[in-house]
Amino acid sequence: MQNRDPEADDVIKEIRLAFQDVKAGRLSLHQAAVIKYADERQLELAKSLDSDVHWSQITDAHLEGCSKALYGADAESWRYFVPAFMIWTLRHFKTNDAFLSDQTIYTFDPSDRDSSLKQWALERYRGLSPSQCKAVCRFLMYMAQNGNYADEVVANQALAKYWFERCSNS
């Protein structure tokens, strides 16, 4: 692993284990990134850019270029992508100021401002197993402890609004 932080490495191991058997959803990473404005031809072209057969094969470059996939993916596709985004964040958030790290944290914060967005987020979260919820909790707790590099406010909000309860029940 690239990280020199043993705690982050432990969180990465937990994510890998919890999400190891997750299958791809109906959207590829590039499709999820463009789905809001794409027609069928553009979606097919986007799909051709992805060759992964397991989420662990998604490259850093593809994650960095497809951060909007976190917003465009259906619940099943999101569950497939999100471990790759969490691991990218744990590896790079201290040395890369890309908004991708914060977007990864934000994907776990159910919106209080819009009830339809909140329901959409909760639908995604309901698809996670107890071990996957625990891995998300550990990810968010780690991010909350690293406020010099990550949005600890949103990480703590997400934990308080939803994830602590899921963590304690697993």
- Contact at 8 Å (CB) between 134 and 122? no
Report how far residue 44's alpha carbon sits from residue 37's, in angstroms, rounded to the nearest whole number. Answer: 13
* Residue at 108 is within a domain: yes
**Predicted pLDDT at 70:** 94
**Predicted pLDDT at 1:** 43
Full domain range(s) for residue 140: 11-168
Residues sharing a CB contact under 8 Å with residue 61, sequence separation 6 or more, in sequence order: none
* Residue at 2 is within a domain: no
- Which stretches of the chain score pLDDT less than 70? 1-3, 169-170
* Residue at 3 is within a domain: no
* Residue at 6 is within a domain: no
Closest among 45, 10, 3 to 142, alpha carbons compared: 10
* Residue at 140 is within a domain: yes
Domain count, the chain: 1
Provide DSSP, 126-164: HTS-HHHHHHHHHHHHHHHT-TTTS-HHHHHHHIIIIIH
* Residue at 145 is within a domain: yes
- In this prediction the pTM is 0.93
**Predicted pLDDT at 6:** 92
* Residue at 157 is within a domain: yes
**Predicted pLDDT at 90:** 96
* Residue at 22 is within a domain: yes
Provide DSSP, 116-127: HHHHHHHHHHHT
